[in-house]
Every structure is written in structure tokens, then in C-alpha cells.
Structure 1
Amino acid sequence: MMKIGDRIRFFRIQQGKTQDELANGIISISYLSKIENNQSLPSLEVVDMLCERLGIRFLDEEEPTLLEELMVWYKRLVHGEIEAVKSTYPILKDKVISSNDSTTLIHFILFEFRYFLHIGEKEAAKKTLEKITQISDIFTDDLNYYYHKFIGLHEYMQEQYSYAYDSYKKAEGILLRNVFEKWEEADLYYSLGLTSSRLWKVTLCLNYTNQALAIYQAQYNFNRSAECQILLGISYRRTNDLKKAEESYLLADKIATTLNNSSFKGFIHHNLGYLYTIEGKSELAIKHYEKSILFHEQHNYKKTFPSIHCIIMEYFNKSDYSNGLRWVEVGLNKIPDSMDSMEYYYHFKTYQHLMSNANEESSEMEFFLKEKVIPYFESHNNYKYIAEYSEMLAGYYEKHFKYKNASLFYKLSNKSLKKINNI
């Protein structure tokens, strides 16, 4: 049960009241401040007057039942039952707000933040986060768990993977000293695995993803099991265990076929394509990338960007600049006028510079890599592409006898590679 001072402060902030507005005619502002900070225990008469002005009950009589209903809604959100979640959201919101159950309402605000992130309502998520920040100092351990977990997701979606990982680790710390349901554990472990993968922390990714997979398999959650197998395949590929990588992808493909899940098929074909790229089977790789694009276009065109990027690199490495530039145009035409897809904008534009100016000097490409591309990936701690594009720029400087600049960017490339290898 929430302390009375925390509860009064929470509802005052929710209703946009100042301390003066709430205290006026009842008690002094300084005394209200002490009550809200749990430094003074008010009389029942004062509590009744403050609650009456706020339009709330002294006790949360309906809280357990409503909170259970809310937890079911949140579980469906985590499991991706988005249509059911969307349809019940307004009904549940009305119930929570009209009930004035403080603990349930705080849970709802946190889960609502997670919901807005899931459906891509950025402005609504931003406003909800502002509300959460105002009341975060009264959170219990379980509320802090959700807070750090959802902040992790928010940062992950902003491509701030290092910060996302730190937030998820804070949530894990709370998870380890409390009891949560197994599906909740699995969701956090998968999130940690996914973020570790983005940071090229391969060993950690394997560890967290296998923990999540064990729970999903025990609960016969085939969708999430397939996601884990794809993520494991990526990690095995990065450790050059191509046989295990292929096994994971094929296991995921069996599940995707059974579930008739074209989104999974898109991811699987992309990763099979990359496997063939590593093996030097360029034509076969391109065929799988193209299949991936066809599957992903049915759901989310942004998920086609990695495969388009890989096709461009395949043609670039074969010096087939005509086909390479054709795919650059395909990629650039799909990118919206927003910051969401900046990573692939920089990939596509870089290869456009490289292939358009393959036989001539390009100071424009030098400026683009030095002032735009490398700083972007540095700001996101994406060491793989810091290394790749720094080496590319160093080679350009070396070719033009600018050895001091070449040395500088070779060092940056090596430093980034060491960070990847030390993870």
C-alpha cells in the first residue's frame, strides 16, 4: 500500500494542482510539504479534507482486482497481441482513472508509456514520460523495475544502445532480488540479448538469449522462440561458427513456416543471405536478400533497409556499380523525411558517393564521411561502422598522400575494433 503522503502528492501532481491550491483553508503549505514527504503523519480529519479536495478515497478498496486486470493487459502487450491491446486500452483507461486507485494508476501510467512506444506514438510517449519523471521518486521496487525496463526500450528505439543496455541492467538488478513471472523474466533477458547484439557484445548476447529461449520453450511460446533462434544465429555467425548459425536459422524457419509468419521469414532470409555473403556465394546471397525484402514489405518497409544495404555492398564488391546504384536509389526512395532511418541514409549515401565517383577524386565523399557519417556512428557508439568507415576514409587519405590524416583514422578504426573484440 502506498504511503498517504506519497498518495496525496501523486494525485495533486496528476490533477495539476499546486501545493497552495490543495492546502488553502486546510493546512499550511509547509505542513502539506512535510505530509507529502512523509515527514509528518496528519490527523484523520486533515487526511479526509485533503482527499475530499482531491476527489479520492482514503483507501484503495478496488485496487487488487483492477490491478490484476491491468497486469493481464500488460502481459498481452508484451506478447504482441496488439489488436486486443488496442481495443481494450480505452475501456481499461476509463476504469483506472475513475477508480482513483493510486497504485493501479501509477502502474497504468508506466504501462501506457510502454504501449505508446509499441504503437509508435512518440509525442504521447514523451508526455507520459514527463508525468513519470515527476513521480519516479515514490516508486516501489517493482515500479522501478518497469521504469528502467521501459526507459531501456525508449533508448533502444532512439538507437542509444549503450544507454539502453545500462537501463536494462538496472532492471535486471531489481529482477534478481524480487519475484516476477517467468514470461516477464524472458522478455527482459531477450531485450538484454537484443541490445547486447547491437553493441556487438556477442558472449552476453548468447547468454541472455539462451536464458530467454529456455523460458519460451518451456512455455511453448513459439513466436518468441523463433526470435531467439534468429538472434542466436546472428551471434554464432559473428563468432564464425557458421554451422551453428545455420542450424539456428533453420530452426527459426521451421517455426516461421508453421506459424505462417512472413515477418520472421524476412529476418531469416536476410540472415541466410549474410551467411552466404561470408561464404563468398554472392548470387545466392542476393537471392535471399531479395526474398527478405519481399517478405518485409508486407509489414514494415523499414525492415527492408538491412537487406538493401547488403545488396548494395554485394554489387559494390563485384564492381557492378550500375546495379549497385540502382539499389541505392531503391533504398533512398524508401527512407522517410524523419530521423528514424538515419543509419541507413548514411549507409546508402556513402555507397552512392563511392560508386558515383569510383574513377575520380571526391572531396565531397571525404567531407561526408568525416563530418557526417563517422560522427553519427560515434554518437551511437556503433563501433562496427565507426571502424568500417574510418578505415574507408583512412584509405582515401592514404591514396591522396595525406598520411597524417590517414594515420589518425586508421587509429580510430583500430580503437573501435578493439572495443568490439573486448566485449
Structure 2
Amino acid sequence: MSYVKSQVVEADIIVLNNLSTFYFSETPAKLEKNSPTWMTDILPIQMERRESMNTGLRLKYHRLKKRVSLEETASGILPSRELKKIESGLKEPSLRDLEALCKKLEISLAPKENPIGQVLVKNFKTSLLHPQNKGKIMEQYADIHDHPLLFVNEDIELEYNIQQIRYFIITGDLDSAEEKLKEMERFKEFMNQEQFYLFHKYTGNYHYLLGDHESALKTYLMTEKIAPVSIANTDLADLYYSIGITANQCWEISMATKYTELALKIYQQEFVPKRIVECHLNIAITHQRSGNFKTAMDHHRNALAIGSKLEIDILRFTTEFNLGYSYLIFQNYELSIEHIENCLSFIPPEYIADSLLSYCILIKCNIELENIEKAIQWKQKGLKLIEDKNLSMSSPTNHSFKEAYIEFLCLTHFLNDEYEEFEKLVTGHLIPLLEIDNNFFEIGYYYGHLGNVYYKLKKYEKSAFILNKAREAYKNTTIIR
């Protein structure tokens, strides 16, 4: 059930405290299928890391930053094996050697006090806690980006570089985020505990944005193991929530429920209503997938009751959409129509795919109620949106958007009795996309209608085969993985 908005627009719900259009990020062609605990097997769990760099680490940091070899740095000063011992903290350099090494690396003998740099990076970090103010964040970044005081102290420079990862994620510049992640991978040994933790958390966010939920989950679980003891309750809740929604995407239902409930408990204690709503939505999804429909609807209603009081349009859209989609699944088409029509009042204009998905649900509900005239009216609204935005099959887009667009075209062909085109799109395009998301309900729905089309065309063997595939898909909607 990949259409639930608490997951689809999760790109920056995850610890970024806002909903936005990162929904349109691309999905990698291949996902790793390792155990979620694989990282603990190949990476050391360092629960306590250095508080500040010693002399050796500082020398090594600047050597790696300049991409100079150990031998080249040591040349003319001391044997390279001795420099290796110094960098490893096994011996202290003589003052004469230290002066020569620092001169070659063009650094001061000791870290400089840098209160202005500390303030700059602290203010930048604080601004990133409010990603809805993207314009202001981008202005601040432009002002400080090349400020020399961000680069004269190793810890401040590390902190700034790590926060840049988050900045690129918030602004949607995933190419720069990837480049910065690769760059900072070289400097993990120099990070203090909080920096090491944030680096992994932002790495998880990056994977989630790409739709690589398996890698995101592995990274978040690793992040939990290295969380600083001093981590704030709300930060811990954000991490639990990230694990919960990512586990749900991976159909790790028990894990999703466990971590989202942990997050919900903290958010309730700290009174963070927006997050409380999002937790209820994710828990509702886990119970739907477990077949606990009554509990699922209770959480959906809780989310709607709280969300409707917050006057946050995107949250109102999310809660109305989720509840409407759930009513579609439970075949209560009248209530589904009511909530989906409500959600359209709050949908941001740039959420084109979400508009098309909403139209698809309204069309499906009216088809089931045999209100064909009303279904056609919603079809016309969708066609106008496609025309206004100049969309086509070849439009540069991503997996999620393409799925919404193709589903709408399938329903259009179905309503027009264009059965050959309906068959081609369903089997050749829509079903493969739905299978990527394990979207068993929609797979069953479209196989069911395709089977009925075959029956109408007197292709009885094909009809029986496809209807059986529909039954298998519906069975999978409540299989816990």
C-alpha cells in the first residue's frame, strides 16, 4: 500500500521536521538485500569517541584533506614509519619535527580558538531545524559558504561539512549530498561522537530520499547503536520514527510497529503534535498490513482528529488522504470519496502526483459504486491537469510519479472501453511498478479488472489465470514480512 502519504512524502518527515516535494526523488534500479544488521558485522561500534583531536590525529586530518601521502609528508623531516606512529597516537613528535610538519601542511602548531566560527556553524545548524524556511536557509548558506573562519579549526570544519549534507538534502540537491557524503566518508575517524552519529543519520536520510529503503534501514539501525548518551529525547524519537517508517517501507512490520510506538510515547511526553499525528499514521499502516483493521482505523481517526486542529495544510491533506485510502481498501467507497475530496482542499499545487493519485481513488470508488458519470468527471479533471502540466510517458520523472501517471492512464482507458490499451498498460507498465513497492492491494485491484475484461472478451482461460493472480495478490496484503 505504497500510496499512504505518511510514507510517500516522507523524504523530509524523517528527522527533518517538515513535509515537502522530495517525494519526487529517483529510485535506484537495484537495492541491496542484506540483513538489516549487516553494518554491525563490518564496522566497529564506537560508543565512545574522542572529544578533541590529539596532535597525531590533527596532522593526519590535514594530510588527508590535502591528499598528501604519508611518505611525502614525512620526507625530509623524519622516517615515514615514525610519522605513522605519531598519527596513530603511539608517540609524540618533537617540537622541531612538529614545527616542520605543520609548516609543510600549512597549519598552525595548535588548534586556534575560533568563537566566531563556532557561532557561524551553530546558527547554520539551528536554521536547518526548520527546513520549511528553505529560502532563508539558502540565503544564510550563500552568506557563510566561503567564510574563512569555518575552515581554520578542525572540529568546526568537520561540523560544518556534516551539516552541509543535511543542507543539500533539505534543498533537494542530492548530487551534492552524495558528493559530500563520499568526501566525509574519508574523515569518519576524526569525528567526535555527535558528529559520527549525525553523519550516519544524514546518510540514512539520503538513502531514504533515493527510495533505497533497505540501505536506509540498515544505516538507521547502525545510527541507533552509536547515538550519544546525551542525545535529546526528541532527537531520539526522530531516530525511532525514522526506523519505524523505513521498516514499514521494507515490510518489516514488527520492527515498524515497535519503533514507531517508542517514538509516539516520547512525542506524547514532549508534546510534539505534528509528530504524534505522523506516528499514528505509520502505526495505522502497520496494523493494516497485519490484518488488524479495527486498530488501524482507530489510529487513522486519531491522526485526523489531532491533525485537523493544527492548521497545517499538508498534514490535513496527509491525514484525510490516508483515511480515504483506507476506506477504499475496506470497500467503504462513500466514506473514501468523502475524505479524498476533503484532502483535495489542502493539497499543495506542486504535488501533481498526489493530485493524480487522489483522482485515481475517486475514479475507482465511483466505478465500484457504478457512478460512471461521476468517474468520468474526475477523469476529465485529471486529463486537464496532465494537459496543463504538459505531462507524457516520456516526461523526465521518477518511479512514484510515473506510477501515479500510468495508473491514471489505465483508468482512463478502462472508462473509455479501450481494453487493448488498458491491458498493455496494466501488464507492461503498471504491474511492474506496483511490484517494486509490494503494493499488493493495487496489484489485486488491477488484475481483478483485467480478468473481468478478459471474461467480457470471452478469453476465459486468460480470465481465470489473471483472476487467480488477483486473489494471490490480495492474500499478500496481510502477510507480515
Q: TM-score, normalised by structure 2?
A: 0.70
Indicate the residue corresponding to 2:21 in structure 1: none
Relative to structure 1, the CA distance from residue 385 to residue 230 in structure 2 (aligned partners, 3 Å threshold; closer, same or farther) is: closer
Q: Indicate conservation of the 8 Å contact 1:308/1:331, yes or no.
A: no
- Aligned counterpart for 1:111 among listed residues 163, 170, 175: 163
Indicate the residue corresponding to 1:133 in structure 2: 185
In the alignment, does 2:344 pair up with 1:293? yes
In the alignment, does 2:242 pair up with 1:191? yes
In the alignment, does 2:307 pair up with 1:252? yes
- How far has the Cα of 1:116 moved from its partner? 0.8
Q: What's the secondary structure of 1:294's corresponding residue? A: coil
Indicate the residue corresponding to 2:322 in structure 1: 271
- Aligned counterpart for 2:403 among listed residues 341, 346, 349: 346
Q: Identity over the aligned pairs, expressed in percent?
A: 22
Kindly provide the amino acid, as one letter, of the partner of residue 304 in structure 2: Y
- How far has the Cα of 1:73 moved from its partner? 4.1
- Aligned counterpart for 1:382 among listed residues 438, 457, 469: 438
Relative to structure 1, the CA distance from residue 91 to residue 394 in structure 2 (aligned partners, 3 Å threshold; closer, same or farther) is: same
Q: Which segment is superposed worse, 60-69 or 218-227?
A: 60-69
Q: Indicate conservation of the 8 Å contact 1:12/1:54, yes or no.
A: yes
Q: What's the secondary structure of 1:78's corresponding residue? A: coil
- How far has the Cα of 1:28 moved from its partner? 5.9
CA offsets, 1:163-216, max 9 Å, x none? 2122111111223x7331222102111212222333344443343233223333
Relative to structure 1, the CA distance from residue 225 to residue 243 in structure 2 (aligned partners, 3 Å threshold; closer, same or farther) is: closer
Counterparts of 2:123 and 2:343, CA distance in 1: 34
Indicate the residue corresponding to 1:329 in structure 2: 383
Q: Any unmatched runs of 5+ in structure 1?
A: none
Relative to structure 1, the CA distance from residue 87 to residue 348 in structure 2 (aligned partners, 3 Å threshold; closer, same or farther) is: closer
CA offsets, 1:16-45, max 9 Å, x none? 555566455445666656655667654333
Relative to structure 1, the CA distance from residue 373 to residue 151 in structure 2 (aligned partners, 3 Å threshold; closer, same or farther) is: farther
Aligned runs of 1:16-95 on 2, under 5 Å?
Answer: 16-17=67-68, 22-23=73-74, 25-27=76-78, 36=87, 42-62=93-113, 70=121, 73-80=124-131, 82-83=133-134, 85-90=137-142, 93-94=145-146
Kindly provide the amino acid, as one letter, of the partner of residue 382 in structure 1: N
Relative to structure 1, the CA distance from residue 203 to residue 53 in structure 2 (aligned partners, 3 Å threshold; closer, same or farther) is: same
Counterparts of 2:102 and 2:472, CA distance in 1: 61
Counterparts of 2:125 and 2:77, CA distance in 1: 39
Q: Any unmatched runs of 5+ in structure 2?
A: 1-51
Counterparts of 1:158 and 1:136, CA distance in 2: 23
Indicate the residue corresponding to 2:18 in structure 1: none
Indicate the residue corresponding to 2:293 in structure 1: 240
Counterparts of 2:212 and 2:160, CA distance in 1: 26
- Aligned counterpart for 2:278 among listed residues 219, 227, 230: 227
Kindly provide the amino acid, as one letter, of the partner of residue 417 in structure 1: N
Q: Indicate conservation of the 8 Å contact 2:278/2:303, yes or no.
A: no
Kindly provide the amino acid, as one letter, of the partner of residue 51 in structure 1: C
- How far has the Cα of 1:346 moved from its partner? 2.3
Q: What's the secondary structure of 1:295's corresponding residue? A: coil
In the alignment, does 2:152 pair up with 1:100? yes
Q: Indicate conservation of the 8 Å contact 1:151/1:167, yes or no.
A: yes
